[in-house]
């Protein structure tokens, strides 16, 4: 009987359902010779390569956008109605 395929590609998207180990998880996210996006060590798709400086820039931008959104939500707690006059 054939063993199920635990890793491969579906429509160009990689998947890997082999049991992850700590070493494999760390090695997959820290690849100095690879690009910004690398295959996930477990699951479907891609993840950021933390050895690439562009990944840190992307994380910083996302963090700043989330901070700005939270700050904007806390400042706009005034839910009073606004009157609009149209001439």
- What is the DSSP code (8-state) at residue 18? S
pTM of the model: 0.67
Instruction: List, in sequence order, the alpha helices (H) in 1-87.
Output: 22-29, 53-75
pLDDT one-digit tens code per residue, 39-75: 998 999 999 999 999 999 999 999 999 999 988 776 6
Nearest to 29 by CA among 10, 6, 7, 55: 55
Q: What is the pLDDT of residue 83?
A: 87
Helix (H) or strand (E) holding 13: strand 13-16
Enumerate the domain spans of the chain: 7-75
8 burial level (CB within 10 Å; 0-12, 13-18, 19+) = exposed
């Amino acid at each position: 009987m054939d063993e199920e395929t635990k890793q491969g590609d579906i429509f160009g998207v990689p998947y890997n359902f082999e049991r992850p180990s700590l070493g494999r998880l760390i090695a997959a996210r820290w690849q100095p010779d690879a690009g910004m996006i690398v295959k996930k060590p477990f699951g479907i798709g891609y993840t950021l390569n933390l050895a690439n400086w562009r990944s840190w820039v992307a994380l910083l931008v996302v963090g700043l956008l989330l901070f700005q959104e939270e700050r904007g939500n806390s400042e706009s707690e005034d839910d009073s109605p606004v009157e609009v006059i149209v001439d």
